[in-house]
A and B are shown apart, each in its own frame.
Chain A
Amino acid sequence: MTSGTLPTAPRDHRGRLSARLMVVGLGVPAAPLALFLLSLLLTGGETNLQVLITLGSLFVTCLVVGGFSLSRLLTTRYRLTGERLELSSGLLFRSRHSVPLARVRSVDLTANPLHRVLGLTTLRIDTGGQGTQGGRGLRLDGITAADAAELRRRILQWREASVPEKAADLVCELDRSWLRYAPLTVWGVGGVLAAAGGVYRTLHEMKIDPLELGVVQDLVRHFGSVPLWYGLLLATLALVALGVACSTLTFIENWSGYELRRAEGGVLRVRRGLLATRSVTMEESRLRGVELVEPLLLRWAGGARLDAVTSGLGDRDENRKRRMLTPPVPRPTALQVAGQVQAGEGLLDRTLLARHPRVALRRRINRALIAAVLLAAVPAVFGLWFGPAFLVAGAITAVLLAPVLTAFAFDAFRNLGHAVRGRYLIICSGTFARRTVALRRDGIIGWKITRSPFQRRNGLLTLGATTAAGDGVYKVRDVPVDQGLHLAEAAVPRLLAPFAEQATRPS
């Protein structure tokens, strides 16, 4: 940092949000108005009190939201002075943020579709700090694209003048063939169902029963004319097709232009996104490990996803959203990235993990059978009132579910494993989503041991390693007491040992 290149006072750059944001602010209350008109159209001009109250309250809410965005527009100002970017905003609660330019990690421009139409942009400055929103950087939501580009240019220019741009090595970038994994994320089908539920509820609130609309009635009549199994098959196929389409589109939106770079000075940078560019910067000094996640379908197709176990990404929800290092990719690729991000190629290798005792299998089978019985009990209880057909349905459910869930129990048992490898504690578990985590041993800041009545009877315990990063606790489930305590001692010497003793008799 040399003083000669520092901008001086006359080169202050200041600005405010774009007046076009007004359109957005006014546009928000327009949505319930449109809904109201739509409901009038659909019901043929009739209306009732409930519709009025529902839409009225929605309208007021939107008015408040719109009002806030207008007040934000009128009061927000930013200023770029010498070494810092200052942002002041708020009408009732005035707030000022000030970010030293030297700490700026990245400047990102993103635009949601509505902003895009109006030529607006959100400028996000990431300082890589930890904790609160203010500590992590700041957002300028709704400045014109030209202003944003200018501001970004100035910030980057300042940085280049003071800190030489660091070379960033490419670790991994998008391969179009990965698109084949996109349909395997289960959320597609769930998303379709959730959307359908949402639409149904909204219509229902507006006193329109979708089941009574002409279109739907026609559909039902046609369905009535085909055999039930055919109808169900068709409905399932349609649902799956929609789900696949949704998850593929989501994949494309989320992961277009994906690249993972490692900059000098120990910074990992993930960049992705089609409509909105997301950029996440992780400091390697905060990285406590990596986690390989293999959801069931993806695992069957030989795919996996790699997450970072790190702190400094915000609160728990944000950590969950921002910690992804790769999209669903072939398993070898994920392992290779893991090897580059954390030292060691065979770090997440599952073959040499210590196994858990057979009692753990019994616990899983018990759980599977209890789940099967509970699920089968639902139709069976109906049978008490509605006749024996439901009892038969219950029996069939139990007979079908028991072997399937037991198979899952075996899989869950096979996936259990743990090891201490070099500087890492490796834990593997899970069947619907198999998770293999490599947690840095020096990142473990305590132990959380839990024992259920079943575990106490069978001499097992669940050893939880608490850490500042990721989910906070990573658990080694169902290990024998002795083995668990030795594992804890091997992972973090002298922490748990003072509290362990020789067993005089088997506990």
Chain B
Amino acid sequence: MNSMRLRPPRNRVPSRAMGWWTAQSAVFALPLPLTFAILWAGIPPTRELFMWFTLISLVPGLLYMAVMPFWRYRVHRWEVTDEAVYAASGWLWQQWRVVPLSRVQTVDTLRGPLQQLFGLSGVSVTTASTTAVRISGLDSQVGDDLVAYLTSRTHAVPGDAA
């Protein structure tokens, strides 16, 4: 038995997706240390306590913001062939999804406010199974083309989608 492994999907997302992931992680990581910092500055008698709180909550947040986007960028890839959609995502915990086009039910575009800011969009491919395949951080134009392509292909490829 010859040894096999998964190859990474062909296409990367544009590098500005890293900016989007950094912004996204900032939204999660910064509010708490910011609150502590304001308290630190605003209530003199508790200075020492809140200084520690600020630092303790800030350091992991900054680490996350520094590491996660690059790592995710390295993992995050996608590919569409004549038969299937293939996408890799995640960073520490990584995920690879394969869905045959014959089983695709709907194709949607997701575009959150942050993604729009960076000119990005996401594509969600749904089958009869409960979990959809999401390719996020695509260039908007590429995303639209992908949706158009998938929609036309899913009509063309025979299958019961069930």
Residues of A within 8 A of B (CB): 311, 316, 445-453, 456, 466-468, 472-473, 481-482, 485-486, 494-496, 498-503, 506-507
Contacts and interface: CB of A to CB of B under 8 A. Distances in A.
A473 B97 CA distance: 12
Contacts of B133: 446
A448 B131 contact: yes
Question: Among the interface residues A311, A446, A447, A472, which one has the most CB atoms of the partner chain B within 10 A?
Answer: A446
A486 B86 contact: no
Contacts of B1: 482, 486
Contact of A450 (B9, B81, B94, B130): B94
A408 B155 CA distance: 49
B98 A502 contact: no
Contacts, number: 104
B99 interface: yes
Contacts of B5: 481-482, 485, 500-501, 503, 507
A498 B97 contact: no
20 contacts: A445-B103, A445-B162, A446-B98, A446-B100, A446-B129, A449-B95, A450-B96, A452-B92, A452-B93, A453-B93, A468-B129, A481-B4, A481-B5, A481-B6, A482-B5, A485-B4, A498-B84, A501-B5, A503-B4, A507-B5
Nearest to A312: B162
Contact of B103 (A446, A449, A502, A507): A446
A371 B2 CA distance: 38
B38 interface: no
Given A447-B98, A453-B92, A500-B7, A316 B130 contact: yes
Nearest to A489: B4
Interface string B116-155: 0000000000011111010000000000000000000000
Nearest to B92: A453
B81 A498 contact: yes
A2 to B, nearest CB: 32
Nearest to B103: A445
A498 B97 CA distance: 13
Interface string B64-100: 0000000000000001010110100010111111111
Interface in B1-57: 1-7, 9
B4 A468 contact: no
Given A447-B98, A448-B97, A453-B92, 7 more contacts: A446-B97, A448-B96, A452-B93, A485-B6, A500-B4, A501-B6, A502-B3
A486 B131 CA distance: 24
Contacts of A495: 83-84, 98, 100
B23 to A, nearest CB: 25
B4 A486 contact: yes
Given A453-B92, A501-B7, A446 B127 contact: yes
Q: Which 3 A-B pairs have the closest CB atoms?
A: A468-B128, A472-B130, A446-B99
Interface residues of B, number: 31
Contacts of A481: 4-6
Contacts of B130: 316, 472-473
Given A446-B103, A450-B94, A467 B3 contact: no
Contacts of A496: 98
Interface of B: 1-7, 9, 79, 81, 83-84, 86, 90, 92-100, 103, 127-131, 133, 162
B127 A466 contact: yes
Given A447-B97, A485-B5, A499-B9, A468 B92 contact: no
Question: Among the interface residues B5, B83, B127, B128, which one has the most CB atoms of the partner chain A within 10 A?
Answer: B5
Contact of A449 (B6, B84, B99, B129): B6
Nearest to B91: A453
B157 to A, nearest CB: 13
A437 to B, nearest CB: 15
A498 B79 CA distance: 11
Contacts of A453: 92-93
Nearest to B10: A499
B128 A311 contact: yes
A119 B56 CA distance: 65
Contacts of B4: 481-482, 485-486, 500-503
Contacts of B3: 482, 502-503, 506
A456 B94 contact: yes
A261 B29 CA distance: 56
Contacts of A482: 1, 3-5
B51 to A, nearest CB: 24
Contact of B127 (A456, A468, A498, A507): A468
Contact of B98 (A467, A499, A507): A499
B67 to A, nearest CB: 13
Contact of B128 (A445, A450, A498, A506): A445
A448 B127 contact: no
A473 B133 CA distance: 13
Question: Among the interface residues B9, B96, B97, which one has the most CB atoms of the partner chain A within 10 A?
Answer: B96
A451 to B, nearest CB: 5
Contact of A473 (B9, B83, B103, B129): B129
Nearest to A447: B98
Nearest to A494: B83
A499 B93 contact: no
B95 A499 contact: no
A446 B85 CA distance: 10
Contacts of B86: 498-499
A157 B37 CA distance: 76
A400 to B, nearest CB: 32
Question: Among the interface residues A453, A466, A501, A502, which one has the most CB atoms of the partner chain B within 10 A?
Answer: A466
B125 to A, nearest CB: 9
A61 to B, nearest CB: 32
A499 B6 contact: yes
B84 A445 contact: no
A468 B127 CA distance: 8
